[in-house]
Amino acid sequence: MMRRTVSRLARMDGAEIAWRGAAAARTIVDRARARIAASRWRRDDLRSVLAPLPDLAAAREALSAQRWDAAQRELTRHFAAAPQRFVIGAVNKTTVAGRIGAEFLNAATQAAERADRIVAGQYDLLGYRGLRFRRSDRPARPAAIAQPVLHALVASPAPPEAGALPDWHLDPVLDRRPPMAFWADVPYLDVSCGDHKVIWELNRHQHWIALGRAYWLTGEAKYRDRCLAELTSWLDANPPLMGINWASMLELALRSLSWIWAINFFVDGRDGPATVGHRATGPWLVDLLVALDRQLTHIDRNLSYYFSPNTHLLGEALALYVAGRALPELAASSRRQAIGRRILLAEFDRQIAADGGHREQSTHYHRYALDFYTLALIVARVTEDNDAIGRFEQAVARLAFAARLLADDCGRVPHFGDDDGGVLVPMTGRAADDLRDSLAIAAALVQCPDLQIDRAPEEAVWMLSGLSVESVIPHLKSLPSAALPETGYYVSRSPMAAHLVIDGGPHGYRNSGHAHADALSLTLSVRGLSLLIDPGTACYTTDRALRDRMRSTALHNTLTLDERPQSLPRGPFHWSEVANARVDAWRTNDGFDYFDGSHDGYAPAEHRRRVLALHGDLVIVADLVGGAGRHAAALHWHIDPRWTVEARGRRITFTRTGERVRLVVPQGLVERFIGDADTGLGWYSPAYGSLDRTTTIRISRDGAAPFWLASVFECNPQNPVADVDWVPVWAEAGAVAHAAALRITRAASVDYVLFADPRLTAGNAKNTAGSAVTRDHTWRVGDFETDARMLFVRVGGDRPVARLAMVDGSLVRTAGRRGFQLAMPRAVPHLHLDFSTHARIAGPAFGARLVVGGLEQPVEPDRRSMPRT
């Protein structure tokens, strides 16, 4: 421990040491004050934190005289008539509510149903449904969240009083409470305190947005009354700087944003006290502004510059910026908005890669970053902050492009990396992995219809209501395959067929706190239905074994070697050893996509993965275990539980809602696991806090390296796969050591696919994209000879070749009367020929010479099938 501390100090520069020292000194002083005198809220503090605006003179006078109700009336009058400075504004209530009621006919009913559950004291948070935050009489639950079925833990028994206000410090899942201590002394990561995520999720007060939505759309006062009663209850339970709800600056930031929503939803002239459970709320706006300013001050003094300089810092900066721009009534707003703007602009370059991906290697936290910058841009435009608008637009455009690429055509993103289940604006209860609202809002803000999926949802109307911006008309088309090479995601899209995402990037960002041991893992959706899934996160701190298992290599669609994970965790948010991937080739055109990558997690042994996606037809995954010595390799495929799985030997069939996909492997032990307690396989977490059974297919093989494992996914049931087997690859000197080939026997064809590494098999032959490969170094599979790094050939019908795909090659030929020869003057990075209907060529085929059956045929690329960019 001492050695680690010394090492950390050695890595700190002067600025960090000075900042940490100042923060520590403030904490010591605040802790001493808390011990001397009980911490409490003081309404008369509001006078000193209000800005000296002429319109607030009457409110300040009432505060000086401690006439709280009069101050409430004056503040209500001011905010109800103020120009809009936030996403919504009280002055636009009638217009916005009327438009939503006209465009979304069921919105009011749905909003009321959701808000009524909150009024009744039932909260749907993270992966839990119907949580009631009241202490029960039962003993505390053990922290073993990894029990075989978690659904029994998702809802607490109903308290005696339906609709009772929450216990703001209770984790009702484990029935535990952290100590009521000074904020810096709360051990919130200790499981004896319960799950801090569950406690914090309620205390973000984002459900107030649902109450506000219902209030505006129905006019029912009970929704406003519930929010104001919760505010009073929260202030009573959370005095300044005391307890778990002051321990995380990000949580204070998100709560502050919720309170700004509440001001604009509920300041509407009804300035009398709300009553819930026979308890009046009092001058709620006075109390809210006092507490909001205190929380913003706490954030400002403890920003996560060095603690969690990732989305934590972004969220904290966002709160300062939005509050500073939206609430000029607070004296510190000018300084706060400047600090928030500065951080948001600086972190844009640090946290967002040039390709638009967020560097934390988590699709969930990527969405957070997109929504953070989207809200910042909306507020910047509403308040005419011309110093920030341009850069915020760049951030939104870049993040939204990456999000749209990662999402399938239904708007769902795979769960790469951690997923904490939260969202920035849970307006309608949309699932956290459903990005249609975020993409529609971004599309309108940057006027890019390609980002939007389907019509703009209700959330877009709320978020854009303060701007003269209309939702765009989406281009209802599938995006092409593309890569985020710096972030490390490679996306293959087959229109109306498949959506494949491969993780070929770095392990994570800084301490990689939200990364998983998932190098070279992939996810696959077929015709809009997810098939291969990332099993998710489940928990952070309540069950260390489960935390490590869910982010382990075996719980991802990749390969383990000798029962080892690629990366080794150290605590819930750190790693002692990490694996980083390297991508050797990524090729894409209208006919196929090809990925070739490896990682260093098993050094000196190597795991190298090739993936060939033939659009609308096959996905072929070939895994090479390289190096020396004997190894035990296991390949895992985690299946979406909505598919029915039937395994017969080396053939596995997946069926769902009239769809069928088949997986066939050439060799290896094939096993199926469903909710297996011994191996930990056959589980998935659709959202934080929930764990359920699914199916995991494990394909294992032992042998002396190098050796291969392969998986062939048949996505086209019109030409079913009957069998897959290995066939030898030959060169002049004999069998090629680092090459492999498959023969795929199908109902209407026989397909051959070859994977070779010319750097290892052909001596001094060069094989970088587009470079010449001497034809003296060729290899053969079946009747075909080539110099390509990857070759796919389909034989069937009345042609010697029905379909051909090639990567980094210049030659394909066969002998005999019906011989076939394709020759280029130099190696091309990729080429696709399809003769199944009419001749289609995709790729740089200029100068190619094609001879079939002794007759030369013209080669003209179909410009509709040119290489994708």
- Per-residue H/E/C for 341-353: HHHHHHHHHHHEC
pLDDT of residue 776: 57
Decide which of 557 and 821 is more confident: 557
476 pLDDT band, cuts 50/70/90, is low
Q: Which of 235, 196, 239, 190 is nearest to 30 (CA)?
A: 239
Q: SS3 of 245, please? A: helix
Give the residues across from 493 on adjacent strands: 499
Instruction: Check if the beta carbon of residue 208 is closer than 8 Å to that of residue 261.
Output: yes
Distance CA 762, CA 47 (A): 80
**CB-count burial class (<10 Å; 0-12, 13-18, 19+) for 102:** exposed
Is it the case that residue 613 has pLDDT exceeding 80? Answer: yes
pLDDT of residue 359: 93
Say how many C-beta atoms besides its own lie within 10 A of residue 730's C-beta.
17
Strands 707-714 and 683-684: unpaired
Distance CA 659, CA 402 (A): 29
pTM over cut 0.75: yes
In this structure, the chain runs to a length of 869
Mean pLDDT, the chain, rounded, equals 88
- Rg of the chain on CA atoms, in Å: 30
40: Cα separation from own chain's centroid: 39
Q: What is the pLDDT of residues 3-16, one digit of tens each?
A: 555 555 556 777 87
pLDDT of residue 156: 41
pLDDT of residue 770: 38
pLDDT of residue 158: 42
Instruction: Check if the beta carbon of residue 571 is closer than 8 Å to that of residue 174.
Output: no
- Would you give the DSSP letter of residue 505? S
Q: Phi and psi of 713, rounded to 5°?
A: -100, 120
pLDDT of residue 477: 67
- Would you give the DSSP letter of residue 450? G
* Tokens 């984790």 belong to residue: 171
Q: What is the pLDDT of residues 785-803, one digit of tens each?
A: 999 999 999 998 777 788 9
Q: Which of 368, 266, 249 is nearest to 320 (CA)?
A: 249
Q: Which of 368, 320, 364 is nearest to 343 (CA)?
A: 320
Average pLDDT of the segment spanning 532-545: 95
pLDDT of residue 147: 37
Q: What is the pLDDT of residues 630-668, one digit of tens each?
A: 999 999 999 999 999 999 999 999 999 889 999 999 999
DSSP E strands in 451-526: the ranges are: 482-484, 489-494, 498-503, 522-526
User: CA distances (Å), 682 to each of 649, 673, 679, 695, 723, in order?
Assistant: 19, 5, 9, 5, 26
Instruction: Check if the beta carbon of residue 683 is closer than 8 Å to that of residue 693.
Output: yes
Largest CA distance in the chain: 105
Instruction: Check if the beta carbon of residue 212 is closer than 8 Å to that of residue 263.
Output: no
Q: Which long-range contacts (CB under 8 A, 24 or more apart) does 136-143 make?
A: 136/172, 136/175, 138/175, 139/175, 140/174, 140/175, 140/176, 141/173, 141/174, 141/175, 141/176, 142/174, 143/174, 143/191, 143/542, 143/543
Decide which of 513 and 484 is more confident: 484
Distance CA 845, CA 832 (A): 9
Range in 128-137, 164-173, 610-619, 718-727 with the lowest mean pLDDT: 128-137
Show the CA angle centred on residue 227, arms to residues 223 and 229, nearest 5°.
115
Decide which of 730 and 150 is more confident: 730
Decide which of 248 and 16 is more confident: 248
Q: SS3 of 28, please? A: helix
**CB-count burial class (<10 Å; 0-12, 13-18, 19+) for 485:** middle
Instruction: Check if the beta carbon of residue 663 is closer than 8 Å to that of residue 722.
Output: no
pLDDT of residue 394: 97
Q: Which of 715, 526, 529 is nearest to 618 (CA)?
A: 715
Sequence-ordered alpha helix ranges (H) in 675-744: none
479 pLDDT band, cuts 50/70/90, is confident
Give the residues across from 536 on adjacent strands: none
Range in 38-42, 444-448, 776-780, 853-857 with the lowest mean pLDDT: 853-857
Average pLDDT of the segment spanning 172-180: 95
pLDDT of residue 474: 72
Cis peptide before 604 (omega within 30 of 0): yes
Instruction: Check if the beta carbon of residue 256 is closer than 8 Å to that of residue 319.
Output: yes
Average pLDDT of the segment spanning 388-404: 97
Is it the case that residue 530 has pLDDT exceeding 80? Answer: yes
Token pair for residue 504? 């070929």
Q: SS3 of 79, please? A: helix
Token pair for residue 799? 């042609």
Q: What is the pLDDT of residues 735-756, one digit of tens each?
A: 566 789 999 999 999 999 999 9
Cis peptide before 706 (omega within 30 of 0): yes
227: Cα separation from own chain's centroid: 30
State which H helix or E strand residue 786 sits in: strand 784-786
Is it the case that residue 869 has pLDDT exceeding 50? Answer: no
Distance CA 681, CA 547 (A): 14
426 pLDDT band, cuts 50/70/90, is very high
Average pLDDT of the segment spanning 510-534: 93
pLDDT of residue 135: 63
* Tokens 């810092």 belong to residue: 313
Instruction: Check if the beta carbon of residue 332 is closer than 8 Å to that of residue 45.
Output: no
Instruction: Check if the beta carbon of residue 72 is closer than 8 Å to that of residue 287.
Output: no
838 pLDDT band, cuts 50/70/90, is low
Distance CA 654, CA 668 (A): 19
Q: What amino acid occupies position 81?
A: A
819 pLDDT band, cuts 50/70/90, is confident
468 pLDDT band, cuts 50/70/90, is confident
pLDDT of residue 598: 96
Distance CA 66, CA 61 (A): 9
Q: What amino acid occupies position 588?
A: T
Token pair for residue 523? 């996810």
Average pLDDT of the segment spanning 311-318: 96
Say how many C-beta atoms besides its own lie within 10 A of residue 301's C-beta.
13
Q: Which of 359, 355, 306, 347 is nearest to 509 (CA)?
A: 359
CB burial of 579-600 (b: ≥16 within 10 Å; e: otherwise) equals bbbbbbbbbbbbbbbbbbbbbb
157 pLDDT band, cuts 50/70/90, is very low
Token pair for residue 187? 């051990």
Q: Which of 169, 77, 161, 75 is nearest to 122 (CA)?
A: 161
pLDDT of residue 867: 36
**CB-count burial class (<10 Å; 0-12, 13-18, 19+) for 732:** exposed
- Within 8 A by CB and 6+ apart from 681, the residues are 554, 555, 636, 673, 696, 698
pLDDT of residue 777: 78
- Would you give the DSSP letter of residue 434? B
DSSP E strands in 466-617: the ranges are: 482-484, 489-494, 498-503, 522-526, 529-532, 559-561, 568-569, 575-577, 581-588, 592-599, 606-614
765 pLDDT band, cuts 50/70/90, is very low
Domains of the chain, earliest start first: 484-717 (2.70.98.70), 722-869 (no CATH)
Q: Which of 646, 699, 695, 648 is nearest to 669 (CA)?
A: 699
763 pLDDT band, cuts 50/70/90, is very low
Range in 83-92, 615-624, 779-788 with the lowest mean pLDDT: 779-788
Sequence-ordered alpha helix ranges (H) in 55-195: 57-64, 68-81, 93-103, 107-119
Instruction: Check if the beta carbon of residue 607 is closer than 8 Å to that of residue 624.
Output: yes
pLDDT of residue 150: 38
Q: Phi and psi of 398, rounded to 5°?
A: -70, -45
pLDDT of residue 509: 85
DSSP secondary structure letters along 355-394: TS-BTT--HHHHHHHHHHHHHHHHHHHHTT-TTTHHHHHH
